[in-house]
Copies of this chain bind each other. A is one copy, B any other.
Amino acid sequence: MKQKCCRKTVVKTPMSEEGPGTPARARRRGSTRPSVRSTPVKYRFRKGTFEFWFEWLVGAQTHGGSEASECFYAASRIKDGDPRSWVREWLALGERIEARANEALFRRHSVSARECFLRASLYYRAARLYLSVHDPRYQELWQKSVACFRGGARLLAPPLEPVEIPFEKKALPGYFLKVDTGQEPRKTLVMIGGGDTFVEDLYFYIGPAAVKRGYHVLMVDLPGQGGLPFEGMTMRPDAEAPMGAVLDHASRRLEIDTERLAVYGISGGGYLVPRAASFDKRIKACIACSAIPNFYEYMTQGRRPNPIIRLEGTWLFHVLVELAKRRSPASQILIETYLWRWGARRLAEWMEMLKTFNFDRARFHARPSF
């Protein structure tokens, strides 16, 4: 077992993400600034982050989170950049597919029921993307989405097991996905999301792919993720603390070979996971997609923050925010969600917080990268 003795680390920074879609101009001038929009290929939308989330949804088809035809149908009824139509259409699709799941269950077509529950779950999830966290429908749709996810997860073979990991007198919610019902220890992947994810989302990124390759998967929401900010658990720089609790849980499970424990962080997880790995030796392999050694630097991309932030709290700032909301109501909801996840009241406060989110790249440079 090669994995037993060496600690493998992949630290992929956003700067190394130059795909075929990177604008030629940026490549020619040898820019070291990360290219945030790495691809010019659009599926459907032009405005705001609609396109980003839509691509995410269509891609989820691979692991049963969506059907492209359903996504394009919903999209055809959404007004580009208008969050209200976004919420309405994904909600309607979620309801339609959930009804189909229930009918399939009633007819004892368990495969179809499972597939529809999982898709309905992600469609309810999609609807929440442009709902304010302060909107009463947010929690209602979150519960619906979790119920559908669990309805589908129960019908997996073996079923996905919900777990609650004790942490600082509260609990981190998660799921344990097993290759089979055997008890012998197996290689295991711990998956962590980012600043926008719910633990249920993680299944659609990697769940079936990992299981097919013989990995158990432990998926967990860390503070700031999923619904944890509702319980006062917001983002914190010391990812090694909650990850420690996750690794304690993993160490106690007989099915997990702790000598072959890999951790995979996506998006903001590209900060959380290498940060934890640089403290905790129980992590034997670390995949960050993409690594974010310094969150503040990543968000500001080496530029000074917009000087308007200094006006925060003044009447002028409020006027500017109101104008921005009218111009881009969708972005406003996303910013509000970020502040909520970080437990920040203001943008300037959030920016200050981000400065503490960093890890030492040198700890990884010395290790083999592949």
Taking beta carbons and an 8 Å cutoff, which residues of A are in contact with B?
20-21, 39-41, 43, 55, 58-59, 61-62, 64, 67-69, 72-73, 75-76, 109, 111-112, 209, 212-213
Contacts and interface: CB of A to CB of B under 8 A. Distances in A.
18 contacts: A20-B73, A21-B73, A41-B72, A41-B73, A41-B75, A43-B43, A58-B58, A58-B68, A59-B67, A61-B61, A61-B62, A61-B68, A62-B64, A62-B67, A68-B68, A109-B213, A111-B212, A111-B213
A65 B58 CA distance: 15
Contacts of A75: 41
Interface centre among A21, A39, A43 (most CB of B within 10 A): A43
Contact of A76 (B41, B62, B72): B41
B59 A69 contact: yes
Given A61-B61, A111-B213, A212-B111, A40 B76 contact: yes
A76 B43 CA distance: 10
Nearest to A211: B111
A68 B66 CA distance: 12
Given A62-B67, A112-B213, 12 more contacts: A21-B73, A39-B73, A40-B76, A41-B72, A41-B73, A41-B75, A43-B72, A55-B69, A61-B61, A61-B62, A62-B64, A111-B213
A76 B55 CA distance: 15
Residue from A43, A59, A68 whose CB has the most chain B CB atoms within 10 Å:
A68
A1 B76 CA distance: 43
Contacts of A112: 213
Nearest to A68: B58
Nearest to A110: B213
A76 B213 CA distance: 32
A67 B209 CA distance: 14
